[in-house]
Amino acid sequence: MKPHASEYRNLERQITVARPIFLMLAMVQLAERHNYADAPTAFLLLGGYLALAILVAVYEQFERGPEVRIPVWLDIAVLGVYAVLSPSVVGLGYAFLFVAFAAGIRWEFRNGVLLAAILTAALFLKLLQTMSRQLPDMLTSLALTGGTFAAGAGAAYLGSIQRRNAAEHVFLAQLAGTIRVEDGVSESVRKLLTRLCAAFSCQAGVLVIRDDELDRLFLYRARHDEAARITPENLPFERADAYLLDQPDVSVGWNAYSDSGGSGFAWNRHNGRPVAPPRIPAVHAPELNAHSVLAVTIEHRGIATGRVLLLNGGRPFTKQNLGWLERIARSIGPSLENLYSLRHLRAKAIESERTRFAHDLHDGILQTLLSFNIQLDVLRRKVLQAPDRVAADLAALQQTLRHESEELRRIVTDLRPLRVESADLVDLMRGFADRFRSESSVPLDLIADSINLQIPDRICRELFQIYREALNNIKKHASASHVVVKLWQDEEKATLVVDDNGQGFSFAGRFSSDELDRLRLGPISIKERTRSIGGNLTVESNPGHGARITVEVPLS
């Protein structure tokens, strides 16, 4: 796995900054042991290369032009020349560690260790020239050589870890980019699974999510070349064993999987202790259709919510593969859970809107139409007996019909999708306040400062819908004589308050949204809209004396 270009530039900057530091340390150590007269060329070589390294570092720091890099082979060449010119191995250690570190970043661990071995052998030859051939001195040289190689291998390892972490960071960011609200759950999961299949060279990927509210499993399956939108399978909890959900605390890897045997490995994902790999029951094994499997748990807030499985790798899975998949699952788990929860909230909001719409039609227009039918039947019988009274009754019916037409137009208008921006929010609220006053004859005070509002558009849209829903509820049910609406924003949150002096709700007290859910109280649509934007809802009710709805939405 290679780092992205931007991450690779950051790694190169680390090398550029580290080079003059190590060179300076080498010069200090050389100066402590030798005078300039002992090895002038060695001092000049280190000093000149240090000056070049500093110039490149300063250029990289302040210049935005073409990149300037000192290649590793030049570092190796300077180290070799310095080893020849220096009267001893003094100062070689720091330069050697830097070269090994840079090689680990640019060439990865294996090549870095190989370079460290070659350079260590050269240093050993240098030591042989300055030490006697007696056994104690030879043993000392061997011990020093072994320690030098170990230090070089460690520096190469640190460099390779930096390279790997940078590559993993980019890959995880790319995976997070596949989980997008606008794409929906199925398309986001398809992109996620196909990318994982490509990264692990396997044929198929499976995501299993458990829904405790519905007591069901939702299973998404995608092949490595899947291009079409995938549809989840809806399975009962009894099928959980097929996907190792019976042991969610275990991360599992199988190669050559079979009912009777196979090579497998597993560990507890909390403490890393090895455990016996759990087997898929024989009755469920054909569902996977896999000869090799990697399976890790996805959790949300410490609770296991599903599994990611990779099937039929092109080469045997390793423990390193399983560990890497674990880190991926920990990274994408919250995003997946949030996406899935958002779909639930949307479904509930849609259901709530449909229920409200059905109630509005049933309690309003449909009842009026039924009344029209009855009154027209009465008028039909009266038309010959009292034509004058029929004319007056028809005029009243026409007025009622006009009123109901306006109500239906309002309902249809409210159903249209809104595009609300921060700059327009207060103007839209004022327009709806004027409409509320004219339709209900109830005074309404709207207190809002449009100049200081800087709220994201999606939050603006939901706040306006909440405001409109609250006023419609007040008009229909509250019998209020005065309404006050306040909207303001500070550095942390936006706050909307709708306060009326009407009948209030059927309950008394001050309750949060979660408390209202447990008690099955409160305005459903407003609760769901508030949750969809990460807000907090508080409802205060005093039956017979009014109610107050407060919505607070964090902006950070």
Q: Where along the chain do its domains lie? A: 5-175, 184-341, 418-556
> Left, alpha or beta for 69 (phi > 0: left; psi -120 to 50: alpha)?
beta
Q: What CA–CA distance (Å, rounded) separates 381 from 364?
A: 26
CA quadruple 453, 454, 459, 462: dihedral positive or negative?
positive
Listed range (217-231, 293-307, 386-400, 479-493) with the worst mean pLDDT? 386-400
Please tell me the pTM assigned to this model. Answer: 0.52
Residue 347: band (very low, low, confident or very high) from pLDDT cuts 50, 70, 90: low
Contact 83, 141 (CB under 8 A): no
Report the chain's C-alpha Rg in angstroms. Answer: 37
Residue 412: band (very low, low, confident or very high) from pLDDT cuts 50, 70, 90: low
Q: Give per-residue pLDDT as tens, 33-45.
A: 777 777 788 788 8
Listed range (24-38, 45-59, 84-98, 345-359) with the worst mean pLDDT? 345-359
Mean predicted confidence (pLDDT) in 541-554: 91
Q: What CA–CA distance (Å, rounded) separates 548 from 556?
A: 25
In this structure, the dihedral spanned by the alpha carbons of residues 428, 430, 433 and 437, taken in order and rounded to 10 degrees, is -140
For residue 116, give the DSSP letter: H
Question: Strands 546-554 and 293-300, how do they pair?
Answer: unpaired
Report the range out of 17-31, 247-261, 483-497 with the highest average pLDDT. 483-497
Q: What CA–CA distance (Å, rounded) separates 526 from 511?
A: 14
Residue 468: band (very low, low, confident or very high) from pLDDT cuts 50, 70, 90: confident
Within 8 A by CB and 6+ apart from 479, the residues are: 502, 503
Listed range (161-170, 368-377, 448-457) with the worst mean pLDDT? 368-377
Which CATH architecture group holds 418-556? Answer: 2-Layer Sandwich (3.30)
Mean predicted confidence (pLDDT) in 190-205: 89
Please state the φ and ψ torsions of residue 344, each to the nearest 5 degrees: -60, -45
Listed range (338-352, 429-443, 479-493) with the worst mean pLDDT? 338-352
Residue 538: band (very low, low, confident or very high) from pLDDT cuts 50, 70, 90: very high
Query: Higher confidence at residue 282 or residue 16?
Result: 16
Mean predicted confidence (pLDDT) in 138-150: 75
Q: Inform me whether the pLDDT recorded for 93 exceeds 60.
A: yes
Q: What is the pLDDT of residue 549?
A: 93
Q: What CA–CA distance (Å, rounded) separates 71 from 106?
A: 10
Q: What is the pLDDT of residue 501?
A: 92
Q: What CA–CA distance (Å, rounded) separates 543 from 507?
A: 7
Q: What is the pLDDT of residue 551?
A: 93
**Residue position matching structure tokens 């709220």:** 455
Q: What is the pLDDT of residue 540?
A: 92
**489 three-state secondary structure:** strand
Q: What is the mean pLDDT of the chain?
A: 78
Q: What is the pLDDT of residue 362?
A: 61
**8 three-state secondary structure:** helix
Q: What is the pLDDT of residue 495?
A: 92
Q: What share of the chain is helix, strand, coil (3-state, %, to 5)?
A: 60, 15, 25
Q: Inform me whether the pLDDT recorded for 473 exceeds 90.
A: no
Walk across the sheet containing 293-300 and list its strands. Answer: 233-236, 216-223, 202-211, 303-313, 293-300, 250-255, 263-268
Contact 96, 148 (CB under 8 A): yes
Share of the chain above pLDDT 90, in %: 6
Chosen CATH of 184-341 out of 1.20.1240.10, 3.40.228.10, 3.30.450.40, 3.40.50.720 = 3.30.450.40
**Residue position matching structure tokens 């809209």:** 529
Listed range (39-48, 83-92, 436-445, 504-513) with the worst mean pLDDT? 83-92
Mean predicted confidence (pLDDT) in 436-440: 85
SS (H, E, C) 22-46: HHHHHHHHHHHHCCCCCCHHHHHHH
CA quadruple 256, 257, 263, 266: dihedral positive or negative?
positive
